[in-house]
Structure 1
């Protein structure tokens, strides 16, 4: 079984991580793959252009997960119309700090407003998928009902895809770990602010929070377990 430790590929003994690899106790969390990040319009309120190239691969991975009987939870940022829990109250810190790096974001106040086109999904959501649509800050767990949903489904492992690797994915990975979920982050299906921050976030996950794998490697393990569920010597 291959994983990435400090961004270097390593062959691991799958028996050592058997509890991470039980698809029946796993949910894929797909984070913030909506128009507010992915639209190519100049009005996009919080653009994440590096994530546009993983839309089709994420959809393809989700199809494979569904075919294996796995569960998918789509999570997106939505704040109340009028901004009572953001720009109309105490604004999210990124609204002040991120422009110090990227420059002014002309339509930032429109980001994630409830009922706006910017909250529409870009990746495909199928019947049977689950949704969490009230992420107000950086973590998918805060202040949403995601933890309740996962525990009610008897989920023990979360697999993360989406964006930003160094922001919402990393925050979600920390929160999941602190809640005692097992964490897998898909190296090929997350995108960060830039390459250095993406690699730094993945390195932190690999050292402190869980496994970093590619979607192909994880699917291969799941398929092998499905063929031979009693095997303890998966490769």
Structure 2
């Protein structure tokens, strides 16, 4: 068993985008589960890494993204899952948490071998991140109640693909760090 990291994908969000209305109901169910996962991970010293879309704002840093999201109409979905002082933060430009980011290097430097992927969107960023983690030989765990979706049918298909094709372990959030 190697070291585990909790990877929080794209949860710092203003929800000011095309699919937001379809995504928001799922996010509302995920936030309490993710909040609990974050507390348990932090209590156990599990590294927490936020990997977030930069929304095309190439001059901003994570604090600006967080401030913008917390000032928006959906701050109640961001505040409970916001990074703490010990959290690591990586900005990404595209779907995968690994695509042209320093995440792989960061995780290797920390001795991480297992990733718990949570956040949004199951059928997009979570799926592509799971594939990239798998091809980098990380063990992948996806708490199915801690990932939000736009389209439930595609999310279910994505979860099956992660489990079957990427050897991801699917579980519920409460099963981790009991």
Query: TM-score, structure 1 length as denominator?
Result: 0.63
SS at match of 1:141: coil
CA distance in 1, matches of 2:5, 2:56: 27
Aligned to 1:228: none
Quote how far apart the aligned CAs of 1:118 are.
Answer: 4.6
2:7 is aligned to 29
Aligned counterparts, 1:93-172, within 5 A: 115=64, 117-118=68-69, 122=78, 123-132=81-90, 134-172=91-129
Give a deviation string over 1:195-219, Cα, whole Å, max 9, x none. 2111111111111211111111222
Match of 1:59 in 2: 35
Residue 147 of structure 1 deviates from its aligned partner by: 0.6
Using the size of structure 2 for normalisation, the TM-score is: 0.82
What corresponds to 2:171 in structure 1? Answer: 213
Distance in 1 separating the partners of 2:85 and 2:158: 32
Aligned-partner Cα distance in 1 for 2:70–2:128: 20
Contact 2:146 2:173 in 1 (8 A): yes
In the alignment, what sits opposite 2:157?
Answer: 200
2:135 to 178, 197, 200: 178
Bigger CA drift: 180-189 or 47-56? 47-56
Structure with the larger helix share: 2
Q: Which runs of 4+ in 1 moved over 4 A?
A: 118-121
Q: 1:176 to 1:215 in 2, by over 3 A?
A: same
Greater Rg by CA: 1
The answer to whether the Cα contact below 8 Å between 2:33 and 2:173 also exists between their aligned partners in 1 is no
RMSD of aligned residue pairs (Cα, Å): 2.4
The correspondence of residues 5-84 of structure 1 with structure 2, limited to 5 A, is 19=1, 22=2, 25-37=3-15, 44-46=16-18, 47=20, 48-49=23-24, 50-81=26-57
| Cα displacement string for residues 138-162 of structure 1 (whole angstroms, at most 9, x for unaligned residues) | 0011111111110010100000000
1:43-76 C-alpha deviation (Å, 9 max, x unpaired): x125121213212321111101111121110111
Structure 1 unmatched ranges of 5 or more = 1-18, 38-43, 85-113, 221-235
Number of matched residues? 162
Gaps of 5+ in 2: none
